[in-house]
Amino acid sequence: NAGVTQTPKFQVLKTGQSMTLQCAQDMNHNSMYWYRQDPGMGLRLIYYSASEGTTDKGEVPNGYNVSRLNKREFSLRLESAAPSQTSVYFCASSEKGRLNTEAFFGQGTRLTVV
Amino acid sequence: GENVEQHPSTLSVQEGDSAVIKCTYSDSASNYFPWYKQELGKRPQLIIDIRSNVGEKKDQRIAVTLNKTAKHFSLHITETQPEDSAVYFCAASRRNFGNEKLTFGTGTRLTIIP
């Protein structure tokens, strides 16, 4: 099992450019998440998907869009990148319900917007 | 929504001593409290978790305690070792069907001094 796989690992964008971060999990989890990690801010939820076809905003959704393409894949899109979106982005997945509640994280994408 | 506060932001302890990290949460309906460890440049990984029907849980040198009345929970690491140096995050969520969102604290950078 690969777990949660994110691509790319590193990316540099110019202000105003767009890009999509890809995430896929092979654990048959229903729930998937996108977080951003900034120094001193912890992990902040951008968007969340409880199941295929559903998405919900998290704490910091502005400037981002998401697509839950199928059960395995959850992508994050920056339509017009801004320097404030320089961050490390983590995708995660977990199973619903009271058991097996651990969230598994991808290896992260380090994004720099210049 | 849920708000999780974590203290201290940095902590240095002598090897062999104990370390304690504390978190408070605001949503009295939260019922799942995991702790994640993130080594430098790596993804966060679950080290221990506790559910709201339990007051304490131990796993070798790590333990977590939960006080539901006061809405706080703590991570205890005993007999610290150099490999315990990392950033630790607490989190809280309301593990109802369809709502698995994890809200994280801002993290504690733990340094073990040899």
**Which residue, A21, A24, A31, is CA-closest to A87?**
A21
The residue among B97 and B11 whose pLDDT is bigger is: B11
Residue B76: left (phi > 0), alpha (psi -120 to 50), or beta? beta
Task: Give chain B's largest Cα–Cα span.
Answer: 45
Q: What is the pLDDT of residue A85?
A: 97
Q: What is the pLDDT of residue B97?
A: 55
Q: Does the beta-carbon distance from B95 to A44 stay under 8 Å?
A: no
Is the pLDDT assigned to residue B103 strictly greater than 80? yes
Peptide bond into A61 cis (omega under 30): no
Chain A residues in contact with chain B using a Cβ-Cβ cutoff of 8 Å: 31, 33, 35, 40-45, 48, 50, 56, 58-59, 90, 94, 96-98, 101-103, 105-108
Section B5-31 average pLDDT: 96
Q: Does the beta-carbon distance from A42 to B45 stay under 8 Å?
A: no
CB-CB neighbors (< 8 A) of A34 in chain B: none
Is the pLDDT assigned to residue A98 strictly greater than 60? no
Q: Does the beta-carbon distance from B104 to A44 stay under 8 Å?
A: yes
User: What is the DSSP code (8-state) at residue A99?
Assistant: S
pLDDT over 90, % of chain A? 77
Residue B7: CA count within 13 A, CB half-sphere: 4
User: What is the DSSP code (8-state) at residue A73?
Assistant: B
Q: What is the pLDDT of residue A99?
A: 54
Residue A51 and residue A32 in contact, taking contact as beta carbons nearer than 8 Å: no
User: What is the DSSP code (8-state) at residue A29?
Assistant: -
Q: How confident is the model at residue A50 (pLDDT cuts 50, 70, 90)?
A: confident
Section A6-33 average pLDDT: 95
CB-CB neighbors (< 8 A) of B100 in chain A: 31, 48, 50, 94, 96, 101
Residue B25 and residue B2 in contact, taking contact as beta carbons nearer than 8 Å: yes
